Structure 1
Amino acid sequence: RTHPKIKIEKIKTFNENEFYFCKIEKPELILTGDARLKIKDKNKTSLFIEGPYELLKLLYDILPNWKNKP
């Protein structure tokens, strides 16, 4: 389930069953006033998560525990 203020952007051919992230970048502020988190997998496929900075910072702190895991 996704938080109502979180928006996830991915390419049309994105397959979540094959996405095992290996790199996560710090949340960056964007022009809308929210922040954006960029996550990449080993094939350089990117997933973007937009939302309040505080929520994305929390994800940034937690997600490294799941690196290269389903």
Structure 2
Amino acid sequence: MREQDLIFSTRSKQKDKHHIFIIIYFLLILNIRTIIIKYIYIEKFITKLVINFSKLQCKLLASSLLS
């Protein structure tokens, strides 16, 4: 191999590694974003459950105070 071919081959491999790194980084960001979205959904769901439970507790307290 000539020296120029060797340099070109090395640069090509470096570019490929760089592209792979960018793709992996992008997928990691998407994965983290998905996890955060799921966490927010779960948090909202738990909040709704707590609010509904507290409303039920208030109704039970009111009915027990009236009786």
User: Fold-level match, TM-score > 0.5?
Assistant: no
Normalized per residue, the structure richer in strand is: 1
- Higher RCO, 1 or 2 (CA under 8 Å, sep at least 6)? 1
Normalized per residue, the structure richer in helix is: 2
User: Structure 1-normalised TM-score?
Assistant: 0.22
Of structures 1 and 2, the larger Rg is shown by 2
